[in-house]
Structure 1
Amino acid sequence: MTNELEGIKQIDYKELNDLINSNSSEYVIDVREYEEYVEGHIPDIPLIPMSEIIDLIDQFEKDQPYIFVCRSGRRSQEVAKFFKMNGIENVANYEGGMLEWQDEIETGETNIIESISNLYKK
């Protein structure tokens, strides 16, 4: 069930899983640190660490929808708020984070984004 926290839409496991499996237009981005991502992440979800997003914010397309994932939902919430402060309105937070993820995970360096243009090559 969708709710809101600090002006940010919160989505739960079922909603995120449904979005991922439906090939929806949302860009789901893991914002944890590199080491956390390599240990285990949602398959096909790219990594852009929170620590790098600040420097890249102007490269994101403002009219695209974004959902952010982290370990517990707190860092991803902060990233979503940062996007909103920078004029990117269509954002959401996966409120449970990887702690709540109940499906398959992958390990390794499968989808680490080094250039924002690579994000949009779906």
Structure 2
Amino acid sequence: MSEIIGGVSHIDCDELQHILQSSNNKTLVIDVREPEEYIAGHIPGIPLIPMNDIPYYIGDFDMEREYVFVCRSGGRSYQVARYFKHNGFDKVHNYSGGMLEWCYDIAEGPENIIQEFDPARLERK
């Protein structure tokens, strides 16, 4: 069950898997690690926008959407979630376990690395 830390909802592995498996759930899940970390192993189907690139795109994100951020252990994704909250986004969550606690399928390679913002590439297929 999610808990609130520092004003940000934190979800666990099973909650994130439920979001990903629910076809009617339109929550956007974004990996915020570095490209080499993402290439080595990531949650299948989710895009990468490195944490340091987020400020360049913050004005392009839809404030009405819901977001979950993922990183290695939950620290960077928490900072990104806090940054979104600071910029007026209400529906943001941190995946608290990070990839270290991810216990479901993992993909390798540069599947969906965002180098130029395109909202369509954030959607799960």
Superposition TM-score, scaled by structure 1 size: 0.95
Counterpart contact for 1:28–1:68, Cα < 8 Å: yes
- Separation in 2, partners of 1:116, 1:98: 24
What's the Cα RMSD here? 1.1
Aligned twin of 2:11: 11
- Separation in 2, partners of 1:81, 1:121: 22
- Report deviation, 1:119: 3.2
- Separation in 2, partners of 1:108, 1:25: 24
Aligned twin of 1:41: 42
Cα offsets for 1:41-91 (capped at 9, x unmatched):
000011010010011101101110000000000000000000011111110
Counterpart contact for 2:71–2:98, Cα < 8 Å: yes
The 1:83–1:21 alpha-carbon spacing in structure 2 relative to 1, beyond 3 Å, is same
Q: Which amino acid aligns with 1:6?
A: G
Aligned twin of 2:22: 22
Gaps of 5+ in 2: none
Counterpart contact for 1:56–1:116, Cα < 8 Å: no
Aligned twin of 2:101: 100
Gaps of 5+ in 1: none
Give the fraction of aligned pairs with identical amino acids, expressed as a percent.
48
Counterpart contact for 2:30–2:122, Cα < 8 Å: no
Counterpart contact for 2:77–2:94, Cα < 8 Å: yes
1:69-80 aligned at under 5 Å gives the runs 69-80=70-81
- Separation in 2, partners of 1:59, 1:14: 29
The 1:92–1:121 alpha-carbon spacing in structure 2 relative to 1, beyond 3 Å, is closer
Superposition TM-score, scaled by structure 2 size: 0.93
- Report deviation, 1:116: 3.2
Aligned twin of 2:68: 67
Deviates more, 1:109-118 or 1:24-33: 109-118
Structure 1 stretches of at least 4 aligned residues deviating more than 6 Å after TM superposition? none
